[in-house]
């Protein structure tokens, strides 16, 4: 028994070394402070709706990173949770008149409920087969939303989603700047849940499963159960992001459920750097700002330009933007030590 406990501890310790290196506590605190200041200052620097899109897509990318970077599961169907929550949030907000944070939380809960049967079937497959199962479920949800026109608006989408928030309703409806700060706590909540998940013993088990599922199973961990749990947590975070996105834009459409949305968020995650949680928001900022600038210029071939730039970035930054910068900083820090030897 003692030998098994020692082996378990060794595996968890080795697995807990995330792709981005362990940071000094002071450095980590400094990064968190800089990130918080940047988030608070963002609507002062760029158009507030664009700033809100960056945060929503960034949180969506974080939900993907929980699966891809920390569990080794590639989902091509996460748009089902983003889009399901967008629709449910809109329906609750329109039909009940509840404050939009309550509607968004309701949408996230429904996304988690949808994730239970999806995850139960999907986690029994690995690699591309897992990705295809999630994609199949997403296409089913897309078909249902398209057919339920009385509820979802079909191809016209669900329009007129209100931004109700008691006495602040008029203020946040009049200016997107104030809505940004009203919705920001929900984004921070999702980011905190992700951080707490990967920083806990549960997160260390996820890394062990990612690195060697057979050994994790041999040590007594219920691998499928852990995968289902993180899949549901990831769906809830994606649901928060989708709900915020739909309320920010005032509508939910089939575009939120289409497979290209799943592909876009995977690209954002890889672009920023997987296994970091920092990479998702960074990748989202690059993608959203690039698309906004190209759209503002009136250029029609946005897909060609963005695609080319993404390919170049992926080729030049093999570990994503965050991972590449972290490697560069690590080399600079280690250079004096190497010279001393």
Q: How do residues 125-172 score in pLDDT, each as one tens digit?
A: 888 888 899 999 999 999 999 998 888 888 888 999 999 988 888 888
Give the H or E element holding residue 217.
Answer: helix 213-218
Q: Which of 253, 236, 242 is nearest to 108 (CA)?
A: 236
Instruction: State yes or no: pLDDT of 303 exceeds 90.
Output: no
What pLDDT is attached to residue 227?
93
Q: Which of 59, 157, 46, 43 is nearest to 104 (CA)?
A: 59
What pLDDT is attached to residue 50?
94
What pLDDT is attached to residue 233?
96
Instruction: State yes or no: pLDDT of 2 exceeds 50.
Output: no
Share of the chain above pLDDT 90, in %: 48
Q: Which of 329, 126, 107 is nearest to 214 (CA)?
A: 126
Distance CA 316, CA 322 (A): 12
What pLDDT digit, counting tens, does each position of 222-249 carry? 999 999 999 999 999 999 999 999 999 9
Angle at 309 between CA 304 and CA 310, to 5 degrees: 100
* Long-range contact pairs involving 112-117 (C-beta distance under 8 Å, separation at least 24): 112/232, 112/233, 112/235, 112/236, 112/239, 114/80, 114/81, 114/84, 114/141, 114/235, 115/81, 115/231, 115/232, 115/234, 115/235, 115/236, 116/228, 116/232
**What region, left, alpha or beta, does residue 275 occupy, with left being phi > 0 and alpha being psi -120 to 50 degrees?**
left
Per the CB < 8 A criterion, the answer to whether 49 and 176 are in contact is yes
Angle at 146 between CA 118 and CA 190, to 5 degrees: 50
What pLDDT is attached to residue 81?
96
Distance CA 292, CA 295 (A): 5
Per the CB < 8 A criterion, the answer to whether 265 and 57 are in contact is yes
Q: Which residues of 222-238 are buried (b: 16+ CB within 10 A; e: fewer)?
A: ebeebbbbbbbbbbbbb
What pLDDT is attached to residue 178?
92
* Residue 2 CB contacts under 8 Å (≥ 6 apart), including other chains: none
Q: Which of 104, 84, 81, 238 is nearest to 162 (CA)?
A: 104
pLDDT band at 49 (very low <50, low <70, confident <90, very high): very high
Token digits of residue 24? 């000094």
CA 176 vs CA 20, 21, 49, 171, 228: distances in Å: 35, 38, 6, 9, 37
Residue with tokens 């967008």: 86
The alpha carbon of 338 is separated from its chain's Cα centroid by a whole number of angstroms, namely: 38
What pLDDT digit, counting tens, does each position of 287-302 carry? 899 888 877 776 666 6
What pLDDT is attached to residue 335?
67
Per the CB < 8 A criterion, the answer to whether 141 and 80 are in contact is yes
Q: Answer whether CATH 2.60.120 is correct for domain 49-333.
A: no
DSSP state of 23: P
CA gyration radius, the chain: 21
- Residue spans per domain, the chain: 49-333
What pLDDT is attached to residue 337?
53
């Amino acid at each position: 028994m003692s030998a098994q406990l020692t082996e378990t501890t060794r595996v968890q310790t080795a697995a807990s070394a995330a792709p981005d290196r362990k940071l000094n506590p002071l450095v980590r605190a400094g990064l968190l402070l800089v990130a918080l200041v940047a988030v608070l200052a963002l609507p002062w620097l760029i158009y507030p709706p664009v700033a809100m899109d960056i945060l929503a897509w960034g949180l969506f990318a974080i939900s993907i990173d929980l699966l891809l970077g920390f569990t080794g599961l590639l989902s091509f169907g996460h748009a089902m949770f983003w889009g399901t929550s967008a629709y449910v949030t809109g329906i609750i907000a329109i039909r009940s008149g509840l404050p939009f944070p309550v509607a968004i939380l309701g949408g996230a809960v429904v996304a988690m409920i949808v994730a239970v049967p999806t995850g139960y079937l999907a986690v029994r497959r690995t690699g591309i087969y897992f990705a295809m199962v999630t994609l199949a479920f997403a296409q089913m949800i897309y078909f249902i939303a398209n057919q339920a026109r009385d509820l979802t608006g079909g191809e016209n989408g669900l329009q007129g989603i209100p931004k109700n928030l008691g006495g602040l309703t008029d203020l946040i409806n009049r200016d997107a700047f104030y809505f940004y700060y009203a919705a920001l706590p929900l984004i921070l909540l999702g980011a905190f849940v992700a951080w707490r998940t990967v920083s806990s013993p549960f997160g260390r088990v996820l890394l062990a499963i990612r690195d060697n599922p057979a050994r994790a199973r041999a040590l007594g961990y219920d691998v499928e159960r852990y995968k289902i749990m993180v899949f549901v947590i990831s769906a809830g975070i994606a649901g928060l992001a989708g709900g915020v996105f739909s309320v920010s834009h005032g509508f939910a459409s089939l575009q939120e459920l289409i497979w290209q949305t799943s592909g876009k968020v995977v690209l954002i995650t890889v672009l920023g750097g997987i296994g970091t949680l920092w990479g998702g928001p960074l990748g989202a900022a690059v993608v959203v700002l690039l698309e906004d600038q190209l759209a503002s210029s009136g250029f029609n071939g946005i897909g060609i330009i963005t695609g080319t730039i993404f390919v170049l970035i992926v080729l030049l930054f093999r570990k994503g933007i965050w991972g590449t910068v972290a490697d560069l900083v690590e080399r600079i820090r280690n250079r004096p030590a190497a010279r001393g030897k």
